[in-house]
Chains A and B, each alone.
Chain A
């Protein structure tokens, strides 16, 4: 047991820190946080990361991965979060990219991986359906063979950023006679294929993330299937564990908590800084203690990864506690903002409103409700843990 950083690690950390400082400019950050320029800003940033060779640290080196140690991974994430740099869009780099690497054909690797690496394509994830959420294997979207194509019919729902996407990776039912997990295949579908409609879903955080994607006789070349027919579930399952670990966003929570401390020191109530209030101090303390534990839980999970074991059932633990801490932080940000948490800024400036962080507090709080729902809800994670870890 040793968690000290070597001089090399510290030099690496400084290099990462300098990179983020130099390259992630305030101007770029502003463009990313503006709805109209969000996509182009993100893509521009990801191309900078790709050029540096740091866009896909966990990919195998031959496909552009960095081959970093888990300590380096950890330091990179920590510096990224501390610099307020958004995580890469997961659907391509962390999800379908991983599936293609693990289960794709040589042709698929050559075609898709470089484009994912360079953010030439925006991907979205088409798993959930109106009738198949927690019970994902109940999905009904049909893919029927027609010569060298599949013909896809059905609807996906809650598809994040489908409005930006060039490609969608989907779980579809190829064998309607076999039940549940066994008759599912994993397809890559180009969004501009005729027959695909994207319908916006308005959400409580007042931002456009969610969509319904409807497939009406959509032709998909058989060559766009990953692996074998009817084996899609096995490929998808690997992804789900990765997704869970990513959702925990522990480094980001640490960064947010630091932001909130600064706010609590500035905000005055009755002539005193909020941070002087013992109740507020205790709320900070409670969150920080959970976060300290989580940081080490994450390191434990990462090191079992490194030994070739993970991600196993303990990824559920990270997801559950990680999202709970996120929500505690979001609640705290709301409470620090007081009345201003309720003000919808719209086109007005912070100066006109009087406070800068209320609108953000509310949007993060509202969107943050979803973290305990997606990626396998926290209730489902507890079911998994009860079964797989406790043997109940």
Chain B
């Protein structure tokens, strides 16, 4: 038993940390998210050159063959740097679906392009009414000979404005909430009948609502098995949830450090505010919340790597704590900065917003607590 990183993992960690230190200070980040696509394409090429885009993909598909720890390491460092480049959307979600769906020609081709940095992707899984239910799918795909005709709308599609290709969850049979009968199709972003309404998210990243109006796709564009897309979605959402929780842990650590640092330099009543015990205890609570979350992260990562029966429970526990601890840490970070914490110029508010976005993504703390509770009786 140990909690040490392998040599390779330590190298990944160092290289991401160095990138953040050298090329991703807060001003640079601000410029990056203001760019057309919501991120800096040059950074994306750097990620490709450094091999980061290949990490989660199996060697058979040209990847690095990384496991849950590798992804955790990179995501935690991204969290500390508040990196906005669409690693989650393109590599983990879009790439993850491709990788899990087999290693056919389509997968080989597209994953190679993800790895070399030339392809941006998205996974469109939400609808207006679906809230956190991944199986609440109304967007339809109706067979017509060798083709399918897609109609409906997907919402809050991460990276939906920059994606070259989008994987879409659609209903091919069954009723609105059924897990059975959901299929995945990959479509080109410029397909006829596909329109997107782009917007910014609070964390600076971009998303889009994507409407499908008689979009015709061939059956070759089906990802995975017809009607059996849901288990594929679950696998990928599970991995990505773990990854964004690692990102959250990085953010929590950063927010706690920033707040402690500020409290040492900000003086009121003739002394550093960090000398007030009332505030010391609050910062200790932030620290404890962050460490407890980190423990659940390690737990979830270990059980995933071991393919343990507990992995579902461990992940739900982690996601709940990321939400609760994130709310505490984010709130305190702003509060202890006083008026400064309210400014857009300071990075604190931006970290807090990303933490809040992570809480919501794939179901918030309340939602996942309810799911966790159901497991108690098993």
Contact = CB atoms under 8 A, between A and B. Distances in A.
Interface string A351-392: 011110000001000100110111001110011000000000
Given A203-B344, A339-B361, A341-B360, A269 B366 contact: no
Contact of B360 (A331, A339, A354): A339
A342 B204 CA distance: 10
Contacts of B366: 277, 279-280, 283, 335
B353 interface: yes
Contact of B268 (A133, A267, A342): A133
A370 B341 CA distance: 9
Given A204-B344, A277-B370, A269 B338 contact: no
Contacts of B129: 268
A130 to B, nearest CB: 9
Interface in B186-211: 197, 199-203, 207, 209
B136 interface: yes
Interface string A241-270: 000000000000000000000000001111
Given A269-B132, A353-B209, A342 B197 contact: no
B278 interface: yes
A379 B278 contact: yes
B144 interface: no
A169 to B, nearest CB: 19
Interface residues of B, number: 51
Nearest to A363: B202
Q: Which range holds the interface residue count of chain A?
A: 35 or more
A342 B201 contact: yes
Contacts of A339: 126, 131, 155-156, 360-361
Given A133-B268, A135-B268, A279-B370, A343 B338 contact: no
A319 B136 CA distance: 43
Nearest to A280: B366
B338 A133 contact: yes
A370 B268 contact: no
B349 interface: yes
B262 interface: no
Interface string A333-351: 0110011111111101000
Contacts, number: 135
B261 interface: no
Nearest to B339: A158
Contact of A370 (B202, B278, B342, B352): B342
A356 B153 CA distance: 17
A346 B269 contact: no
Contact of A362 (B155, B202, B361, B364): B202
Interface string B51-70: 00000000000000000000
A345 B356 contact: no
B357 interface: yes
Interface stretch (B8-16, B40-48, B90-98, B327-335): B327-335
Interface of B is mostly: mixed
A374 B340 CA distance: 12
A261 B276 CA distance: 40
A342 B133 contact: no
B343 interface: yes
A270 B331 CA distance: 30
A369 B199 contact: no
A119 interface: no
B269 A135 contact: yes
B228 interface: no
A269 B131 CA distance: 6
B345 interface: yes
Interface in A266-309: 267-271, 277, 279-280, 283
Contacts of B268: 133-135, 138
Contacts of A341: 202, 356, 360
A157 B339 contact: yes
A204 B331 CA distance: 13
Q: Which has the most chain A C-beta neighbours within 10 Å: B207, B338, B353? A: B338
Contacts of B209: 352-354
A204 to B, nearest CB: 4
A201 interface: yes
Contacts of A228: none
Given A133-B338, A370-B342, A270 B177 contact: yes
Contacts of B269: 134-135, 138
B113 interface: no
B279 interface: yes
Contacts of B343: 201-204, 210
B240 to A, nearest CB: 15
A72 interface: no
Contacts of A269: 131-133, 367
A146 B132 CA distance: 67
Given A338-B131, A344-B199, A204 B360 contact: no
Contact of A354 (B128, B136, B338): B128
Interface string B245-274: 000000000000000000000011110010
A345 B199 contact: yes
Interface in A183-217: 201-206, 210
A355 B367 CA distance: 20
B207 A352 contact: no
Contacts of A352: 197, 209
A128 interface: yes
A375 B34 CA distance: 34
Contacts of B133: 269-270
A342 B360 contact: yes
Across the A-B interface, give the 3 residue pairs with the lowest CB-CB distance, nearest first.
A204-B349, A202-B344, A135-B268
Given A353-B209, A369-B331, A372-B335, 6 more contacts: A203-B342, A204-B341, A271-B177, A335-B364, A343-B207, A353-B197
17 contacts: A135-B269, A267-B131, A268-B131, A269-B131, A269-B132, A271-B176, A277-B370, A338-B132, A339-B361, A341-B202, A342-B202, A344-B200, A353-B197, A369-B331, A370-B342, A374-B339, A379-B276
